[in-house]
Chains A and B, each alone.
Chain A
């Protein structure tokens, strides 16, 4: 079956594993060629091709609802829900959106461009379903990166308290946000992935069976079944923490093995209450260059498929604002150990990876956790550190009360650097940085500034570092500067006002 013939995901029902594998191959092909051509997210989608196919094979999508966290991993979903033909227009004006959009397709049940929202939304739908006495499945698919966001944990906390509310959470565990994941939960999941007590137990068992007389080197089919049974018994122990939180745990399963995925989803659908299926995936799967450089191929501008190299611009461009920002900050931080740069899982996007490489002790990545980043900065400011919170305009929206309650009310000297302010382009409404002036301006004890070019940005970085009479925010655009000459050092602060 050709992928273009699939206009409804239920067409996957009844297909053989071989046919599904063929669909997977076609999805990867189309995904790769489209992103190579128009730019967009690459690694996240390639990692969930089999996950998507297998899950959809076990659902009735005329009734059941799937909610994808951060829609950028949902390109396979788009390709299975009637958007094959439009997919070439990805992220272009009037074309297919780069994220899921409730208005774009009836199978996009909830839009998202920011992380960690899916479990809350899915639980809300499940509770509404139960209140109406209806019967359909609600499934949230969330990355392990998004579990670093407090909201996802709030939702897990709530769902785990509702044993009679059927909800499936599929954990797409690729060990990454955009950059490698941070935090204790990530470490725990990693341990679960790697320690694999299931295998240990069954291998041991196998050895013991082999000691029995007359059995020889291979196990009889009966014995294989016993072994499988033992495996299942062992499974709950693997996800003990998750089980303690009130979820039934399935996994970890190989996210690129369709058979294993399908049989696990089938089993998990039968279990009442909240269920978590832990799927181990590889970001960029199937495209070796992307598997190797998972940070670089999270998202891409147009590139050459054979080499993986970005198609070079026709003429040299001025440096990007984020690079000028990071270079300037790093130079200042070299001479002032009190300066600490904080990112919420956006090391490369904000440019702070430059600071990380040069001054790792003055760099903090908190995960996709903007609220925490801001209040962490507040705490550091209390102790005489100069925190520089580099958070995109659109993502700082997520930490609004922290700005007011923890920083401005207490007049703490935190320096906010809002990259991607203004119109961001292809990412669309979820990522536009157009509210920051309005949402910051109305708070007492904060200065708000915007440089006219990259040279003024350098001076504003100094201004922000020197300012201690409360909070100060600098907004600057995505992309390249205007091309004015830059100084290597010796920048002067600008007078406030």
Chain B
């Protein structure tokens, strides 16, 4: 949640407004909140400190797919690799999970052209 707010702040400096959702329930997922936002805003970012496969981002993707909402989704989390010993900050950095890294990645993924306003779910 707090990293997501930081990311939103960085994006804001680039003139991009982001809505941040505190997805405190992974299950049941608050699809009543998330789905309409995703539909209206048209871009979704998910963030989790957990494996991507089957994790929270997957849950969001499934929910959107169920409702036939076809929008681009960028998921941040741990890919299909082992994470070696290091300080948590170092591990996060190597996984591109630090807030500035995520902001940069979002800019690259979604904002090479002129569109604006992603929705961040975390």
User: Which residues of A approach B to under 8 Å, CB–CB?
Assistant: 91-95, 97-98, 421-429, 432-442, 446-453, 456, 460, 477-479, 482, 494, 496-497
Collect the chain B residues with CB atoms within 8 Å of residue A94's CB. 86
The answer to whether A98 touches B49, judged by C-beta atoms less than 8 angstroms apart, is no
Q: Which of B42-70 contact A (CB under 8 A)?
A: 48-51, 53-56, 58-59
Q: Quick one: which of B83-120 are within 8 Å of A by CB? A: 83-88, 90-92, 95, 97
Note all chain B residues with C-beta closer than 8 A to A497. 25, 28-30
Residue from B24, B27, B29, B48 within 8 A of A452 (CB atoms): B24
19 A-B residue pairs with Cβ-Cβ distance under 8 Å, sorted by A, are A92-B87, A94-B86, A421-B50, A422-B49, A423-B92, A424-B88, A425-B86, A426-B86, A428-B83, A434-B49, A434-B50, A437-B48, A438-B53, A438-B58, A441-B27, A456-B24, A496-B25, A497-B25, A497-B28
With both chains docked as a complex, state the minimum distance between the C-beta of A73 and any C-beta of chain B, in angstroms: 17
Inter-subunit contact B55/A438 (CB<8 Å): yes
A422-B49, A452-B2, A453-B2 known; A440 vs B88 contact (CB < 8 Å):
no
* A438 touching B50, Cβ below 8 Å: yes
- B49:A423 contact, CB within 8 angstroms: yes
Q: Which of B49, B58, B85, B88 contacts A97 (CB 8 A)?
A: B85
Contact B25 A425 (CB under 8 A): no
User: Which of A424, A449, A482 lies in contact with B25, CB distance below 8 A?
Assistant: A449
* Cβ-closest chain A residue relative to B32: A497
- Most chain B CB within 10 A, of A425, A451, A456, is at A425
**Distance (whole angstroms) from the CB of A407 to the closest CB of chain B:** 15
Q: Say whether, besides A441-B27, A449-B24, A423 and B91 are in contact (CB < 8 Å).
A: yes
- Which of B1, B25, B27, B95 makes the CB contact (< 8 A) with A440? B27
Q: Is the CB of A435 within 8 A of B51?
A: yes
Residues of A within 8 A of B78 (CB): 423, 432, 434
CA distance A129 to B76 in the complex (A): 45
The 8 A-B residue pairs whose C-beta atoms are closest, nearest first, are A422-B49, A428-B85, A438-B54, A452-B1, A93-B86, A425-B88, A429-B82, A448-B27
**Count of chain B residues with a beta carbon within 8 Å of a chain A beta carbon:** 33
With the chains together, A263 CA to B16 CA distance in Å? 74
Residues of A within 8 A of B90 (CB): 93
A98 touches B54 (CB 8 A): no
**Complex: how many Å from CA A92 to CA B2?**
26
Number of A-B contacts (CB under 8 A): 109
When the two chains form the complex, which single residue of B30, B49, B58, B85 contacts A93, counting CB atoms closer than 8 Å? B85
Q: What's the minimum C-beta distance from A476 to chain B, rounded to whole angstroms?
A: 11
User: Chain B: which residue is nearest A427 at the CB level?
Assistant: B85
Judged by a CB distance under 8 angstroms, whether B22 is at the interface is yes
Cβ of B82: which chain A residues have Cβ within 8 Å of it? Answer: 429, 432
Once bound together, how far apart are the Cα atoms of A447 and B58, in whole Å? Answer: 16
- Point out which of B58, B59, B86 has the most chain A C-beta atoms below 10 A from its C-beta: B86
Q: Which residues of B contact A432 (CB under 8 A)?
A: 78, 82-83
Looking at the complex, which one of B59, B87, B97 makes contact with A426 (CB distance below 8 Å)? B87
Residues from chain B with Cβ under 8 Å of A424 in the complex: 88
Chain B residues with CB under 8 A of A428: 83-85
| A429 B83 Cβ-Cβ under 8 A | yes
A438 proximity list for chain B (CB < 8 A): 50-51, 53-55, 58
Give Cα A81–Cα B22 distance, bound, in whole angstroms. Answer: 49
Known: A97-B85, A497-B30. 8 other contacts (CB 8 A): A423-B97, A425-B87, A426-B85, A429-B84, A449-B24, A452-B24, A482-B2, A497-B28
What's the Cα separation between A423 and B96 when bound, in Å? Answer: 13
Residue of B nearest to A452 (CB): B1
Asked, given contacts A98-B85, A423-B83, A423-B88, whether A434 binds B51 with beta carbons under 8 Å apart, the answer is yes
